[in-house]
Structure 1
Amino acid sequence: LKELARLREEARRAATEAEPEPEAPAIRSQTVHDPSSRRSTSHPGGSPAPTMPPDAPLPKLIVGARLALTDSPVEWLALPTDLAAWSRLSRLLSLGKRRASKGDCHLTRADLAEWGAGLILIALPPDPLRGDPALADIAAIARRFPGNAFLGAAPRYDGRDQARFDRLAALAQSTGLAMVAVGDVLMHRAARRPLADVLTCLRIGCTIDTIGLRRLANGERRLKSGAEMARLFHRYPAPLRRSVEIADRCAFRLDELRHQYPHEDRDGEPAQDRLARLSHEGLRWRYPEGPPPKIVARVEKELRLIAEMGYAPYFLTVHDIVAFARSREILCQGRGSAANSVVCYLLGITEVPPESITLIFERFISKERGEPPDIDVDFEHERREEVIQHIYDHYGRHRAGLTATVIHFRSRAAIREVGKVMGLSGDVLARLSGQIWGWSSAAPSEDRVRDAGLDPADRRVMLALRLIGEIIGFPRHLSQHVGGFVITEGRLDEVCPIENAAMEGRTVIEWDKDDIDALGLLKVDVLGLGMLTCIRKAFGLLQDHRGLSLTLANVPPEDPSVYDMLCRADAVGVFQVESRAQLNFLPRMRPRKFYDLVCEVAIVRPGPIQGGMVHPFINRRQGREKVEDLGPAMMEVLGRTYGVPLFQEQAMQIAVVAAGFSPAEADRLRRSLATFKRMGAIGAFRDRFISGMLARG
């Protein structure tokens, strides 16, 4: 959908930039004989159909796959007609991908015959004018799936299409298959042909000068209107009409997919009851002298919301993974918004006591937001693979897989890849890519090109620059997420295809985090952190040499000598505070307790720096500036940071306390603050925020 939206924007720009073309000549209505259907049909003549307005709704999406078999020259278009057919297609693709290395898929005729039920199968044989069209292979599938197998007819635009269609129509009669018109499309506009050739060069590893006959002969393998297809198939209207009938039969939509999370019931105990039991056991474990009433009330509130949203199995999955790690003495630590949950603390997922921070559970789970929670857990990076393999072993590779990440072309990669295809030398490409700063997503300007020693007016350079600009943003390859697992109760390979990762022992689904978010799939993040490995090794050294048995929970807090070291900026190699900016700020901050370090890490960020919060915070902390009394409610929110908001949680609390936002509204405000540069949605809250504050004085 994101790609279609991008293409629609291109179409809008093209419509405004293109000059009007002369009207195409009308085709006379005529009666023709169609050997593929044994019927005589009136050809629909007249003017071409009007083009779709650029702002029209997206067309119906027909999902499917093009299958290249290892034991047959015939390729097949496989289009699922319903959810069950999609599940079989997904399992078929997973089967072929699991047999092969990353990026390949090995399927046979037997596989297609076994898993093809419910699929529309359109045969794409070799050119019947040039060799054997493998009739036996086509006929075998036709007998296996009567009524669902068709013979595809695609124009090649070489002056022999009508003879080719005649031959395919004869083959259709001999095999008993109906012929259907297909476009064999590679691009949405003919102007993309040079870029398509570049992608071919990248795929096969050659330059544009040596691509030879693998270059596209023309720009006709593009999306065409119904009128254009009618011209091409004017002697065979039935195959064209049949393509519409097939499209109507393909009723499956991706939003039919439903994620069934593992139940996580144990010994007949429902997940919610088990979660409540473990939480109450955690109260006794975390608070041996009795929990504060505020914490007890908070636990019950969280458990009620978790039950209402049906997220108990998710919490139990993370709990079980953490329990496995601890049983193997693998250090782990939950982080992120999960720290706002008392239940996570009681389950041992996080280690930060709730009373030491300001909890806003709605940042973690919000009924109004309707999004699944996201619990990130860090494990020792040297032993994280043990945890990953445990997940595969426990749930099975047919039920668990790592999320994918789509790597896109950015400026430097586009310059290197396209420049290599265009025959530019390595030293020139190095100079040109060296002109790009950071994570740029723009083609180099003419000044940058001159600085690299190239002539922007050179024809080859001009073409290379244009293609670089076009390929930026294109998907480059599929990688694996740093640790996001999708786990299902049923077969995950019936929801989406699973393939082997480049790393041995890993399997990955084909969808990225945006895809699974759109479909509401829950993701468990199993991340690696090198500092946890260092801490574990330090614990081992202390045990071996000093007889001290330490864990993350019983490390002596607030050691003055540690803070003395930090005040001297002696923090090279210390996690979170070793950057140049942090080393510069530590002597000014002069931390003397752990919360000071929390503020230290939070304030050395673009938001507080650009928002002018650094100097007021330091001046008030050091007594050079008076802390303004904002009233009891606001000082409860901002008192620990001297009246200066540093954290997103404080922004949410201010919205609730001062502007009357609900917790869910405050969370939406927080999300808009986090994405305002990209989404620009924060303005929608301005009037509501100001009017709410004025109403409360």
Structure 2
Amino acid sequence: MSRFGREGAGSPAGVAPPGQEASVAGGLPPVLNALLRRLGDERELPDYAELQCRSNYSFLDGASHPEELVARARELGYRAIALTDECSVAGVVKAHVAMLEENETAGQRCEPLIQFVVGSSFRLHGEPESAPLELVALCQDREGYGNLVELITLARSRAVKGEYRIERRDFTDPPAGASDLSGLPNCLVILPLPYGATDAVLDEQVTWASAVFGERLWLGLCLLNRPRDAEHRARVLAAGARHRVPVVAVGDVRMHRRSCKPLLDTLAAIRLGQPVQACGYALAQNAEQHLRARDRLEMLYPPETLAESVRMARMCDFDLKRDLSYNYPEEIVPAGYSPAEYLCEQAYLGAAEKFPQGVPPAIAYCIEYELSLIAELRYEAYFLTVYDLVREARRRGILCQGRGSAANSVVCYCLGVTAADPLDTVPLFERFISKERNEPPDIDVDFEHQRREEVIQYIYQKYGRNRAALAAVVITYRSRGALRDVGKALGVDAAVIDAVAKGQQWWDGRSALLERMAEAGVDDTSPIAHLWAELVLRIHGFPRHLSQHPGGFVISRDQLSRIVPIENAAMPDRSVVQWDKDDLDAAGLLKVDVLALGMLTVLRRALAFVSAQRGEPWALHHIPPDCIPTYDMICRADTMGTFQIESRAQMSMLPRLRPREYYDLVIQVAIVRPGPIQGDMVHPYLRRRQKLERWTVPVAKDMPGKPRPPSLESALKRTLGVPIFQEQVMQIAVMAGGFSPGKADKLRRSMAAWRRKGGLEGFHDELIAGMVGNGYEREFADAIFRQMQGFGEYGFPESHAASFALLAYASAWLKHHHPQAFLAALLNSQPMGFYSPSQLVQDARRHGVRVLPVDVRYSGWEAALVRFDAPDDPCGQPLSAAVPMVPDDPCALRRVGVRLGLNQIKSLGEAAALRIEAARLRDGAFRSVADLALRAQLSRHDVQALAAADALRGLAGHRRAAAWQAADAVVQLDLLAEAEGAVVEPAPVLRAPSEAQEIVADYRALRLTLGRHPLALLRERLRGRGYLSSAELLDTPNGRRVWGCGIVVGRQRPGTAKGTVFVTLEDETGPLNVIVWPKVLETQRRALLGSRLMGVQGEWQQKEGVSHLIARRLVDLTAWLGQLETSSRDFH
């Protein structure tokens, strides 16, 4: 076929042969041609492919999701659609998956299929604003795709995050180190000629592009019903004729439907940082940049230009799933080994170490089975890469532990990647890897959060930045961000926006949003209110920008930047691919998750303190299992600061479930999840555990001509007949429903996604029929399926819970036996966990831990342990030698305390703190504030921060005196710099602050106090109003109507609680849990969300060690706090 359209044609599409009229193809305007055809022979509409289309992955420059664009294009009967987001392919995987789904549906209905074309667009840097130069590139094949994504990588690498820079010379003279991208080989290029440009500008652009791209260049004709469309069409067609370049119809699409225009304008206003009414010509002139019906296109475009779009699409034969080959690196494999041989050797070496008495036959069988499947799927190099990371971390003394579905792998356990002993659970390898699923495994490894960066940089150093990068996370609009951005775009007053946003803590839909507006004084019947609400509703969930995954790394044997574009992350020394984890899975790219876990940092730090206390090295494996006092503490829900069992929901469950051994903790970790709650698994399990309900494992009836299926006892006995874990559901599907292991895993994946995507119902009939056909009662089969639906709300795999239970027990053991070490480690590992340093310190002090204040004479940067040689020792000595410890000995407990570190001071930097510590160690004690400032080279800000935190008390007295001396010390330093012998005025005698003033100052500077709790000062006033303390409430009979009060430290609204909000208050005697039902919330929302000191009137409930106050009335008492600054952890 000729380059210029049909065979035998000698002119570009839409261009008359030389010597003939070239202004209009066919001699008549396209609209008349279209009308004549439609009135005449009623021929079919012309085929069309949209080849210039941006989605919302152009970030604020597209108003539709990729899936919406693909679905709409097929609905309109397009032959193909290209996604050409600006310098990005972030949306192409989602579009490709949508194309597969659309074509599956079309195939079932015998409808035409749609082709998806991968592309991108670029606005070249350095061009005049009056004549911008934009290129649209479309991939013809795998080589072209590699060239395109490498070009995107190059453009992104030159700019800060979110921007790019590409110039003409990049297509003719690529920079050193890049592949030869001259002319962008194997890509078709469209040059959309600028609207309103002169012939000279058009000729210059076409001349340059023709020289660079040759016969792979088309001129883009974009007609959007603008006033000068006829002139523009004539100019483009004439330029094509002069330069003998074909012309193709394009739509410069930004939205899938015309109705998205208000949203498109709003996004543009957000992008430009101006209200819509001030954007003027920066907004699209009309709503034509949508996917238009083919009869509409037929009226606008010359028929040859429409046909050319289809011909171009047919020349693009790149398929993401089929053509995107990917290989994992193999340099971890020593010379002389194949990956399979080395993995096998290391697995068996690890097995011998894990099972010194001999590898049990069941474990040996699992190893053989797993290794054979890993080899069949060619995942050996992936396992070895993760093994290398774990080995390197341990070589550096970094605690790490695998979790998630990888803990179902015995090979991972033998390699030391995971820690949960497979003999303690029932590993189900198909939950981790399935041949039928045909998707890559996902190994999650947690590392200490303060040292994970070392592992990340090790990956970059080992594999290079062109072969390794972090996965992306798509940051989407949530309710408050959408409210703020849309409100600004609509020109709403900033104070009104702030008031509405503060009242919108969660997403309840359009009607609730209008209620929030009314509460903020907005007329909720006004057009602007309804437009604001409508646009927020539409933008909710829209991509805002790309960020970096918490730790998901993509590592390739070959150049990664030819598989997916890499761009700079906001953090230094980080780079990110443009695909998120779902995209990577769909494209078949393996990802290893190098995750950060604060509790691992706490455990490593706490064990270091324990080693110092005991005078011998202590590690996790030294912690004795099955410690009765530790489990007693857990059963009392005395778990603040521990791992996984410290949340309010977990604390409420602990006294009822009463864990007494490791596997009980596995269940405890997993059962307080939306899946088991929604699947009605919690209460049956608790009743059976408390022996309030008898249970038996269902047994199949004998079916004629069929062997009896295996007993479900192995699947259900360990959880008392209630399927709590995902693996159990898979086992039931295999054992009772006749599913293969791979199909059972597909069922499991459908369970996890059915509320979002559907698909679970497709398994219903097959599962029920299989179970009933194997002799199980229909009632039992239906109950199992209902529980599967519950897992759609998120449930834990048993392997994951087993991994987390190990850390939960270790943290609880440390909290009970070494509370000082545990507190110091928690403080030094912030930020992390549910609780603030203030709450952690108060909890430790209630447990008898002595905590000493920040003091420049003794404190280092971090909290440290000190020993007391006498009960009345006010300062203690640094714990540099072993202090004999006897577990549970109160005397031993009192001999060790915690000294707060300088890191607790809100306004003091680490560099200044380290200079203080170094100066003290080098030259001895500080003699005065001036001596401190001079020797530690402190700034005015540093000294003032120390004074405000009361860290100068030992040198200068109380806060006010210290503040005076701090200012005086800085003055002295200034005078010393100017002249010796200068006279310094003596310090005046200042009155010490009151207790209340000290507490306010403590919270402002340290976010905690070692003085009395603020509510202790208000207790008489509270008691006069009838408010009981938390301790007094614990002695109150169940069902009594009472008043409680406390500082708000947390608000939560779990998705499974049907709108109920849980508030945690705190007073001087401990925490108080409050439950706010939706009806109370509706009438008292302002007090619920606005209070820092909250009074609550309601019904006191106390049962089975669990207590809470059911709110009937909420009172905002924040004014009573005066200048006290408090904060709460809300809706995380």
Name the TM-score, length of structure 1 as normaliser.
Answer: 0.88
- Measured after TM superposition, the shift of residue 158 of structure 1 is 3.7
Contact persistence 2:401–2:419 (CA under 8 A): yes
Which residue, out of 33, 36, 52, partners 2:76? 52
| CA shift in 2, pair 1:615/1:143, >3 Å | closer
* CA distance in 2 between partners of 1:629 and 1:226 (Å): 62
- Measured after TM superposition, the shift of residue 270 of structure 1 is 0.9
Structure 1 stretch 287-296 or stretch 645-654: which is displaced more? 645-654
Contact persistence 1:84–1:118 (CA under 8 A): yes
- Measured after TM superposition, the shift of residue 671 of structure 1 is 2.9
Structure 1 stretch 40-49 or stretch 325-334: which is displaced more? 40-49
Instruction: Render the CA deviation track for 1:478-533: whole Å, top value 9, x for unaligned.
Output: 12212111122111111111111111111111111221222111111111100000
Which residue, out of 91, 100, 120, partners 2:150? 91
* CA distance in 2 between partners of 1:470 and 1:622 (Å): 49
Instruction: Render the CA deviation track for 1:564-617: whole Å, top value 9, x for unaligned.
Output: 221222110011111112222222333221111112122222333344443443
Per the alignment, residue 185 of structure 2 pairs with 117
Residue type of the alignment partner of 1:670: R
Per the alignment, residue 357 of structure 1 pairs with 425
Residue type of the alignment partner of 1:52: L
* CA distance in 1 between partners of 2:629 and 2:577 (Å): 49
* CA distance in 2 between partners of 1:460 and 1:192 (Å): 17
| CA shift in 2, pair 1:521/1:537, >3 Å | same
Per the alignment, residue 453 of structure 1 pairs with 521
Q: Which has the higher contact order (CA 8 A, sep 6+)?
A: 1
Per the alignment, residue 388 of structure 1 pairs with 456
Per the alignment, residue 480 of structure 1 pairs with 548
Contact persistence 1:539–1:550 (CA under 8 A): yes
- Measured after TM superposition, the shift of residue 128 of structure 1 is 4.9
Contact persistence 1:331–1:532 (CA under 8 A): yes
Per the alignment, residue 259 of structure 1 pairs with 326
The yes-or-no answer on 1:144 pairing with 2:235 is: no
* CA distance in 2 between partners of 1:608 and 1:491 (Å): 44
Per the alignment, residue 23 of structure 1 pairs with none
> SS at the partner of 1:198?
helix
* CA distance in 2 between partners of 1:49 and 1:198 (Å): 38
The yes-or-no answer on 1:495 pairing with 2:563 is: yes
Structure 1 stretch 162-171 or stretch 184-193: which is displaced more? 162-171
- Measured after TM superposition, the shift of residue 434 of structure 1 is 4.6
Residue type of the alignment partner of 1:492: L
* CA distance in 2 between partners of 1:375 and 1:594 (Å): 23
| CA shift in 2, pair 1:274/1:33, >3 Å | closer
Per the alignment, residue 69 of structure 1 pairs with 124
> SS at the partner of 2:277?
coil
Structure 1 stretch 56-65 or stretch 44-53: which is displaced more? 44-53
Which residue, out of 651, 657, 669, partners 1:589? 657
The yes-or-no answer on 1:653 pairing with 2:721 is: no
Q: Quote the RMSD (CA, aligned, Å).
A: 2.9
The yes-or-no answer on 1:101 pairing with 2:125 is: no
- Measured after TM superposition, the shift of residue 312 of structure 1 is 1.1
Which consecutive residues of structure 2, in runs of 5 or more, have no partner in the other structure? 1-11, 46-74, 78-101, 175-180, 700-709, 777-1132
Per the alignment, residue 222 of structure 1 pairs with 290
* CA distance in 2 between partners of 1:173 and 1:451 (Å): 63
Residue type of the alignment partner of 2:719: T
| CA shift in 2, pair 1:424/1:169, >3 Å | same
* CA distance in 2 between partners of 1:144 and 1:166 (Å): 24
The yes-or-no answer on 1:672 pairing with 2:750 is: yes
Matches within 5 A, 1:415-434: 415-434=483-502
* CA distance in 2 between partners of 1:182 and 1:371 (Å): 36
Per the alignment, residue 271 of structure 2 pairs with 203
- Measured after TM superposition, the shift of residue 225 of structure 1 is 4.1
- Measured after TM superposition, the shift of residue 177 of structure 1 is 3.7
| CA shift in 2, pair 1:540/1:231, >3 Å | same
* CA distance in 1 between partners of 2:507 and 2:114 (Å): 33
Matches within 5 A, 1:39-438: 42=26, 45=34, 46-47=37-38, 50=45, 52=76, 59-72=114-127, 73-113=132-172, 114=174, 115=181, 116-129=184-197, 133=201, 135-136=203-204, 138-155=206-223, 157-172=225-240, 175=243, 177-234=245-302, 238-255=304-321, 256-264=323-331, 265-436=333-504, 438=506
| CA shift in 2, pair 1:58/1:426, >3 Å | farther
* CA distance in 2 between partners of 1:243 and 1:680 (Å): 35
Per the alignment, residue 13 of structure 1 pairs with none
- Measured after TM superposition, the shift of residue 383 of structure 1 is 0.9
* CA distance in 2 between partners of 1:672 and 1:169 (Å): 52
| CA shift in 2, pair 1:423/1:399, >3 Å | same
* CA distance in 1 between partners of 2:393 and 2:13 (Å): 71
- Measured after TM superposition, the shift of residue 57 of structure 1 is 5.4
| CA shift in 2, pair 1:181/1:686, >3 Å | closer
Structure 1 stretch 559-568 or stretch 520-529: which is displaced more? 559-568
Per the alignment, residue 927 of structure 2 pairs with none
Report how many aligned residue pairs link the two structures.
665
**Larger-gyration structure (1/2):** 2
* CA distance in 2 between partners of 1:306 and 1:225 (Å): 50
Per the alignment, residue 69 of structure 2 pairs with none
Contact persistence 1:337–1:363 (CA under 8 A): yes
Residue type of the alignment partner of 2:256: H
Contact persistence 2:476–2:541 (CA under 8 A): yes
| CA shift in 2, pair 1:37/1:427, >3 Å | farther
* CA distance in 2 between partners of 1:356 and 1:399 (Å): 39
Contact persistence 2:221–2:247 (CA under 8 A): yes
| CA shift in 2, pair 1:618/1:78, >3 Å | closer
Contact persistence 2:510–2:533 (CA under 8 A): no
Which consecutive residues of structure 1, in runs of 5 or more, have no partner in the other structure? 1-31
> SS at the partner of 2:711?
helix
Residue type of the alignment partner of 1:526: V
Which residue, out of 645, 652, 655, partners 1:577? 645
Structure 1 stretch 672-681 or stretch 562-571: which is displaced more? 672-681
Contact persistence 1:153–1:179 (CA under 8 A): yes
> SS at the partner of 1:351?
coil
* CA distance in 2 between partners of 1:299 and 1:150 (Å): 58
The yes-or-no answer on 1:606 pairing with 2:674 is: yes
| CA shift in 2, pair 1:422/1:557, >3 Å | same
* CA distance in 1 between partners of 2:565 and 2:511 (Å): 34
Residue type of the alignment partner of 1:432: V
